[in-house]
Amino acid sequence: MTEIAHSNLHRTAWGDWWEGTRRTDIWWTLAWFDIVLRYRRSMLGPLWLTLSMGAMVGGMGPLYSALFGTELSKFFPHLALGIIFWTFFSSIVMDSCNAFINSGNYLKQGYFPISLFVWRAMARNLIQFAHHIVLYIPVAIWAGISLKMHALLFLPAFALFLINAHMLGLVLGLVCTRYRDVAQIVTSIMQMLMFLTPVFWLPESLPGRGRYILWNPLAQMLDLLRAPLMGNLPDIHNWTGILIWTVVNLAAASWLFSKYRRRVVYWL
């Protein structure tokens, strides 16, 4: 066992990351167990996720449509997907900040590749997202949205999101474990970005000089995911922007992971 532990600790950064990534049996089971524990002794269990999100979307749709003077059949799908995806985004970011801190018991008791716990946080949020996205089906049927072939663009967009989420999870997990105040800063930034991202409002309602707000990478990612599901084509500039952010995230995560991954256990 000593030789195995010694060998594991001296793996390359790539080998360390791959060891955590390939153990889907561990991180998926831990994620599912997290959901089960959260809703233990509850009659509806994870269905509370769907009901609470449905109540929020159903209550806000008519209200915000009237406030913005927009036809409900056009605004309701936009708002529903905006809230569903933003909840997904913000949950992953917040969980990434505490991915290693909340897994300290595992990391202190034995060797585990730290990428495993980022995947755990992502898997937990994917389960919650699966409960939320079903709400869009009745909304789309009611609004008469017909999906076309370019709806398949959702798949590469979602793959890009998962890549960026994992890389950002590694970065935030490392930084927030070392500097605990960063998690509070990230929370404040996400609250601000919620209003700078077209979650509750339509991008075309912005004045000419205000459209720089749409350079926000979360706004670009939201367009790539939402537009295909509404029967529209995402803006080509958003594809370019997200590809650039993907390269930046990969570079930052690779550098931090290779340099600091062995120090995480000492920061807990």
Q: How many CA atoms lie within 13 A of 219 on its CB side?
A: 19
pLDDT at 43: 63
pLDDT of residue 178: 92
Q: How far apart are CA 86 and CA 94, in angstroms?
A: 12
pLDDT of residue 240: 93
Confidence of residue 42 (pLDDT cuts 50, 70, 90): low
Whether residue 216 contacts residue 197, with contact meaning beta carbons closer than 8 Å, is answered with yes
Contact between residue 234 and residue 148 where contact means Cβ atoms under 8 Å apart: no
Gap between the Cα atoms of 58 and 56, Å rounded: 6
What Cα–Cα distance (Å) separates residue 126 from each residue in 155, 189, 195? 15, 22, 24
- Joined tokens for residue 15: 């080998």
pLDDT at position 46 over 80: no
Give residue 61's pLDDT. 80
* CA–CA gap between residue 70 and residue 15 (Å, rounded): 52
pLDDT exceeds 80 at position 145: yes
Share of residues in the chain with pLDDT > 70 (%): 92
Nearest C-alpha neighbor of 135 from the set 221, 61, 222, 33: 61
Instruction: Please tell me the least confidently modeled range out of 41-50, 59-68, 117-126, 218-227.
Output: 41-50
Confidence class of residue 5 from pLDDT cuts 50, 70 and 90?
Answer: very low
pLDDT at 2 over 70: no
- For the chain, the 3-state helix, strand and coil shares in percent, each to the nearest 5, are 80, 0, 20
Q: How confident is the model at residue 210 (pLDDT cuts 50, 70, 90)?
A: low
Please tell me the distance from the alpha carbon of residue 83 to that of residue 55, in angstroms, as a whole number: 12
Q: What's the pLDDT band for 226 if we cut at 50, 70, 90?
A: very high
User: Quick count: other Cβ atoms within 10 Å of Cβ 133?
Assistant: 17
How many Cβ atoms sit within 10 Å of the Cβ of residue 95? 22
Burial string for 190-216 (b: 16+ CB within 10 Å, else e) reads beebeeebbbbbebeeeeeeeeeebee
C-alpha distance from residue 58 to each of 80, 83, 158, 187, 219 (Å): 8, 11, 25, 26, 23
State phi, psi for 111 to the nearest 5 degrees.
-80, 125
Q: Is residue 121 within 8 Å of 169, Cβ to Cβ? A: yes
pLDDT tens string 174-194: 999 999 999 999 999 999 998
Going by the DSSP 8-state scheme, the letter that residue 151 receives in this structure is G
pLDDT the model gives residue 177: 93
User: Taking CA 100 as the corner, what is the angle to CA 98 and CA 101, rounded to the nearest 5 degrees?
Assistant: 60
Cα separation, 240 vs 53, whole angstroms: 32
